[in-house]
Amino acid sequence: MKVLINVDKPLRRGLRIGINPTTSKWVDIKYERLGDFCYYCGRPGHVDRDCYNINRMPKEETLKERILLDKLKNKKS
């Protein structure tokens, strides 16, 4: 599947899809041929060592932290 994405916003790691009114499931999104990608701010076009936002974002808001927190949450459920 090919989709257009707004690269000015952070890329999504995944999303929840409703299976029925009371149940949902997490689905990972996989991106191909991205080139440089920053794991701190979640935006393509540069790598984390060159990230302008690295010192401007609170640590708990970095993409690396969000990925780890999501994995822990998914293991518990």
pLDDT(66) > 80: no
pTM above threshold 0.75: no
Average pLDDT over residues 57-77: 67
Contact predicate 62/10, CB 8 Å = no
Give the helix ranges, DSSP H, for the chain. Answer: 63-76
CA distance 77 to 71: 10
| Those residues with Cβ within 8 angstroms of residue 31's Cβ, 6 or more apart along the chain or in another chain | 11, 37
What is the phi-psi region of residue 20: left when phi exceeds 0, alpha when psi lies from -120 to 50, beta otherwise? beta
Judged against a pLDDT cut of 80, whether residue 77 lies above it is answered with no
Record the tokens describing residue 31, joined without a space: 């991106």
**Domain spans in the chain, listed from the N-terminal domain onward:** 14-76
